[in-house]
Amino acid sequence: MKRYACLLLMLVLPVLVRAQITETKSETPFTAKGTFFALSVADLDASAKWYLEKFDLEVVFRTPKTKSVKSAVIVLAGGGLLVELIEAEHSSPLSKAAQGIKDRTLILGVTKTGLIVDNFDRTLAALRERNVPILMGPYPAHDSTGLRNFIIEDNAGNLIQFFGK
CA angle 18, 24, 25 (to 5 degrees): 165
Q: What is the pLDDT of residues 46-105, one digit of tens each?
A: 999 999 999 999 999 999 988 888 899 999 999 899 999 999 988 877 777 777 777 777
Identity of the residue numbered 9: L
DSSP 61-99: EEE---SS--EEEEEEEETTEEEEEEEETT---HHHHTT
Rounded distance, CA 10 to CA 26, Å? 25
User: Which CATH code fits 20-91+98-164?
Assistant: 3.10.180.10
Q: 136 φ, ψ to 5°?
A: -145, 140
- Return the pLDDT at 1: 45
Q: What is the pLDDT of residues 21-39, one digit of tens each?
A: 444 445 677 776 778 999 9
Q: Provide the pLDDT confidence category of residue 14 given band limits of 50, 70 and 90.
A: very low
**Is pTM, for the whole model, over 0.85?**
no
Cα 67 to chain centroid, rounded: 26
Closest CA to 24 of 82, 85, 84: 82
- Return the pLDDT at 26: 52
Domain boundaries, the chain: 20-91+98-164
45, 133 Cβ separation under 8 angstroms? no
Please give the mean pLDDT across all residues of the chain.
Answer: 82
Closest CA to 9 of 65, 67, 77: 65
User: Which residues, in sequence order, are bridge partners of residue 59?
Assistant: 76
Residue 46, CA distances (Å) to 50, 51, 149, 157 in order = 6, 9, 26, 12
